[in-house]
A and B are shown apart, each in its own frame.
Chain A
């Protein structure tokens, strides 16, 4: 592992630890927001602690992302196999079209169709998250040179061995970048989930905007921004880790 990579990982881990500390440092938030907004009666949303909002947010994003990866990657692999080739054009067209749909509109549409609450929101995040993951999986596998696949077959590998030992390792960087996009969108869209009562970091933002309490807004917006950047850099580390593995 190169020196640069070691430093990058160390910075990310330090960032994650600092984030955990920050969302639990209630006294610090109280002090800083009081200093910024001396006239406000409450500067922290009384409904829940900041750590709880973060955990609710992580539950939404984590559950939907795990489902997305568990379904999206196999689906993408399947349509590049002979058994699923018939469905390839349907899946590619569907994911291309799906990615032009605004995530907020999809989340909103899930409500009349699926109902309100935690699981309908998870479903909406899961479905929307599929688009980048499936299309990245297909793109990644199809970018593997034919010669590599043929060399594998020539060495006597079975088609599942070719998939596991050649195609997937070579496609993993692209697949992880699709997952990264999907998670980033999910973190952002989950913020809007607060408008339909799913909790999370959107609660102080939307609640604060509704009652004109800018301290609440910052209580939600700052951790949401940090969480998104942190998750993205963790996945960026994963992305470069799988890239190194291929070399």
Chain B
């Protein structure tokens, strides 16, 4: 019975992924050729990617085949090959389309990535999820295929003309300021998380010791979190410039209404809620029996905190730092409205000029940064979990 149903039922995830990919490859513009970086141009289909169009069709067919493959093993192999293959082929197809279309154009002409290419990427991701839960675990432990795909994308930059795509050109033009803005972004977000921890961890600790404090601290940080970041930034400018004007010493330190100061204060305030809440929950969840045991061993309450409670609460505190970091990487983009310099400048300049490439150049690194920090800090939190309590 179960064998029978396995044979007749096809994998609908692969089917949906194939349909999405097909829609992206046929119904939407693959690339756009524009006379210069600001004006709209003509849209072009996947047909301009030459042989890579056929490779795309082939991989979509492979995804469809994987949906009806007889064995689970064949399904997972075919859908994985299709998904990874589509990403690699997409990189080369974009490069090919860019170099073909740019022949005979002026040097300011640009070929930018169309919505179809993004939808193909989305379709590839869906196909990658075909084949069931168990396979996913197996696949995640394999480094080979992702490395091959990365190599294919990098080689498309070097030999495949992917560096002719307007996003790469926009980057080349602004390479120097890009790295400065990226550094500014990391520094401001990092400082916000650090300050958030400096204030948040003690506040969380205080909340565990006093019931009244707990209500106030969690309530106030919760309200701060609700206030839109741009509004909080606007509300901070006035008091900070007043403070800077009243106390020249503080002004020399950079406390002004405009610049990094209001941004940093706002970021610190946003970092508080996740850090305070997780510190509080982490400490409150420490098993009272463990604390009693420590006290029985003659530990002072200070020793108890440093050797027992904080180490046990550390994974949750780290979790709070992770949430705060991901949050702050996004909100940092808004501090440019108060005069800070970071990747937000590229995003909002791009939006102001209707320059899609500039927007991408700012927004893509912000997303990558958020995802990388998320993955890195959750791995760190796992490592910091004391061995005895690891699950």
Contacts and interface: CB of A to CB of B under 8 A. Distances in A.
17 contacts: A87-B16, A89-B129, A89-B132, A90-B13, A102-B329, A102-B366, A104-B330, A109-B359, A112-B112, A114-B115, A201-B231, A202-B230, A209-B338, A217-B238, A218-B238, A224-B227, A232-B226
Given A104-B333, A208-B234, A188 B359 contact: no
B184 interface: no
B230 A188 contact: yes
Given A228-B228, A232-B226, A87 B12 contact: yes
A108 B329 contact: no
A229 B347 contact: no
Interface stretch (A11-19, A42-50, A160-168, A191-199): A191-199
Nearest to A87: B13
A187 B133 CA distance: 36
Interface in B218-240: 223, 225-235, 237-238
A97 interface: yes
B157 interface: no
A222 B13 CA distance: 47
B359 A111 contact: yes
Contacts of A93: 129
A53 to B, nearest CB: 12
A218 B235 CA distance: 7
A184 interface: yes
Contacts of B27: none
A195 B229 CA distance: 14
B128 to A, nearest CB: 9
B347 A224 contact: no
A100 interface: yes
A89 B133 contact: yes
A108 B330 contact: no
A111 B356 contact: yes
Contact of B337 (A184, A206, A218): A206
B6 interface: no
Interface string A95-112: 001001111111011011
A86 interface: yes
B118 interface: yes
Contact of B371 (A100, A113, A188): A100
Interface residues of A, number: 45
Contact of A205 (B231, B350, B351, B374): B231
B228 A108 contact: no
Contact of A100 (B133, B227, B370): B370
Contacts of A90: 13, 126, 129
Closest 10 CB pairs of A and B: A102-B330, A112-B356, A221-B234, A188-B228, A90-B129, A224-B231, A221-B231, A217-B234, A105-B363, A108-B363
Contacts of A220: 231, 234
A105 B228 contact: no
A108 B350 contact: yes
Interface residues of B, number: 55
Contacts of B362: 108
B231 A191 contact: yes
A70 interface: no
A100 B223 CA distance: 21
A222 B112 CA distance: 40
Interface in B10-46: 11-13, 16
**Most A CB atoms within 10 A — which of B11, B129, B232?**
B129
Contacts of B360: 109, 112
Interface in B352-366: 352, 354, 356-357, 359-360, 362-364, 366
Given A104-B347, A205-B234, A229 B330 contact: no
Contacts of A222: 231, 235
A214 interface: yes
A103 B370 CA distance: 11
B366 A105 contact: yes
B63 interface: no
Given A86-B12, A87-B12, A104-B330, A195 B351 contact: yes
A119 interface: no
A191 B371 contact: no
Given A100-B370, A218-B238, A113 B226 contact: no
B367 interface: yes
Contacts of B226: 184, 228-229, 232
Contact of B223 (A94, A97, A102, A229): A229
A206 B363 CA distance: 19
B334 A104 contact: yes
A116 interface: yes
A225 interface: yes
A93 B13 CA distance: 14
Nearest to B228: A188
**Most A CB atoms within 10 A — which of B225, B228, B330, B338?**
B228
B186 to A, nearest CB: 14
